[in-house]
């Protein structure tokens, strides 16, 4: 009974790219219409939130069953009803949520072309890989960096001198880029591939949306944007290095039975990856986003308007963060 649902979710994920462009189109239309007719713009935004709920639904299988990501799984599952709730509130007259809708527009305009267009995606992934490689090289040279695709070939010489007996698939390798780090703890091939999700673009898009959606002087908004993107990129390199190093050297191989059971996995060499990426790095990213938001508010206080509306959606309570923090907004 459950398997047909899982299969349907897997099939729906194949349309995620098309749904993403539809989301961008509808929200962009809402942003343009809002300038001339707020009521019409609000209704288009509401439609956009309904489409966005479909986008989150298309990613349920990927994050829950394929990636087994705790925070991202929770995000898409919560995002489905939350997006529909926003649509309802906007239609019901809560136009304060239009600022949140504008934030989605700016975030999507930034994120989607960078992640979908190959001539932008490849240099971004390879730049992130190069910086990760530079820092990793300072910690040791017991790894290789290669462009293997779509699998590690049989007979490949592994770090340490052993040879790969049979072809080994690379599940995260979607393009023939030089972006895969290969370690061989105990002669066992372990890989970490830099993907778009490893570049920090997703987190950057959040702040592009927050800053772009509200009023503020161009100088302060540019400063806040540069600071947030710079901090995110540096922290993201640290994250990549941490995951690759701890996984490649099996530094976090603790409570293997518990971790493998939690993530429904069988490969003991993935324990360090699950702890390093799925637990430590992902929850650390949430804390980092909160800290960066506090930093951005110093330059663009109106960002708190978006945060207040987000908190209202989760708690159904009104908040005055501007007053609580003693800051003044421009609108």
Q: In a 3-state reduction of DSSP, which class is residue 270?
A: helix
Q: 155 lies in a domain?
A: no
pLDDT at 1: 66
The answer to whether residue 67 sits within a structural domain is yes
Q: Are 80 and 53 in contact (CB under 8 A)?
A: yes
Each residue's pLDDT tens digit, 57-85 = 999 999 998 888 888 999 999 999 999 99
> Is residue 284 one of the residues assigned to a domain?
no
- As a whole number of angstroms, the distance between CA 263 and CA 66 comes to 10
Integer Cα distance of 310 and 2 in angstroms: 33
Label residues 237-251 b or e (16+ Cβ within 10 Å = b). bebbbbbbbbbbbbe
pLDDT score recorded for residue 322: 77
Catalytic residue numbers?
198, 239
C-alpha of 205 from chain center: 9
The reported pLDDT for the residue numbered 329 is 56
d(CA 78, CA 42): 22
Residues 6+ apart with CB under 8 A from 15: 58
pTM: 0.92
Per-residue confidence (pLDDT) for residue 328, from 0 to 100: 65
Domain membership flag for residue 168: no
Question: Does residue 130 fall inside a structural domain?
Answer: no
- Please name which of 198, 221, 202, 203 lies closest in space to residue 291, comparing C-alpha atoms: 203
Q: Is residue 324 one of the residues assigned to a domain?
A: no
Q: For the purposes of burial, counting CB atoms within 10 Å of the CB of 145, is it exposed (0-12), middle (13-18) or buried (19 or more)? A: middle
Asked if residue 1 is part of any domain, the answer here is yes
Cβ neighbors of 167 (< 8 A, separation 6 or more) are 151, 152, 153, 154
19 occurs within a structural domain: yes
Q: Domain range spanning residue 27?
A: 1-116
State the pLDDT at residue 254.
Answer: 96
Position 306 scores a pLDDT of 94
Which residues does the chain have with pLDDT short of 50? none
- The number of distinct structural domains making up the chain is 1
Which residues, other chains included, contact 16 with Cβ-Cβ below 8 Å and sequence gap of 6+?
55, 58, 59, 62
Q: How many residues does the chain have?
A: 331
- Give the whole-angstrom CA distance, residue 29 versus residue 27: 5
Q: What is the pLDDT of residue 183?
A: 97
HEC letters along 32-82: HHHCCCHHHHHHHHHHHHHHHHHHHHHCHHHHHHHCCCHHHHHHHHHHHHH
Give strand pairing partners of 169: 151
């Amino acid at each position: 009974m459950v398997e047909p649902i899982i299969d349907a979710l897997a099939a729906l994920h194949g349309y995620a790219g098309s749904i993403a462009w539809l989301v961008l189109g509808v929200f962009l239309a809402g942003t343009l219409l809002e300038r001339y007719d707020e009521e019409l713009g609000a209704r288009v935004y509401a439609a956009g939130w309904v489409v966005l709920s479909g986008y989150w639904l298309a990613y349920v299988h990927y994050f829950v069953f394929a990636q087994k990501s705790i925070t991202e799984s929770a995000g898409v599952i919560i995002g489905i009803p939350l997006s529909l709730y926003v649509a309802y509130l906007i239609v019901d007259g809560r136009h304060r949520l239009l600022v949140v809708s504008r934030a989605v527009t700016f975030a999507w305009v930034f994120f989607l072309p960078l992640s979908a267009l190959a001539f932008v995606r490849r240099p971004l992934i390879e730049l992130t890989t190069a910086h990760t490689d530079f820092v990793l090289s300072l910690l040791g040279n017991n790894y290789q960096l290669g462009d293997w695709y779509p699998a590690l070939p049989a007979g490949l010489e592994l770090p340490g001198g052993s040879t790969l007996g049979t072809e080994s698939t690379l599940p995260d390798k979607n393009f023939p880029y030089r972006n895969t780090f290969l370690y061989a703890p105990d002669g066992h091939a372990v890989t970490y591939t830099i993907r778009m999700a490893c570049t920090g673009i997703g987190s950057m898009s959040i702040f592009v949306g927050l800053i772009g959606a509200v009023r503020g002087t161009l100088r302060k908004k540019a400063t806040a944007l540069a600071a947030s993107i710079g901090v995110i990129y540096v922290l993201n390199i640290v994250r990549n290095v941490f995951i690759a190093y701890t996984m490649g050297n099996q530094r976090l191989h603790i409570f293997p039975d518990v971790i493998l059971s939690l993530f429904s996995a069988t490969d003991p060499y993935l324990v360090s990856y699950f702890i390093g990426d799925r637990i430590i790095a992902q929850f650390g990213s949430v804390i980092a986003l909160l800290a960066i938001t506090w930093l951005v508010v110093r330059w663009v206080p109106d960002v708190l308007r978006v945060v207040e509306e987000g908190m209202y959606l989760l708690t159904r309570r009104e908040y005055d963060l501007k007053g609580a923090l003693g800051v003044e907004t421009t609108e």
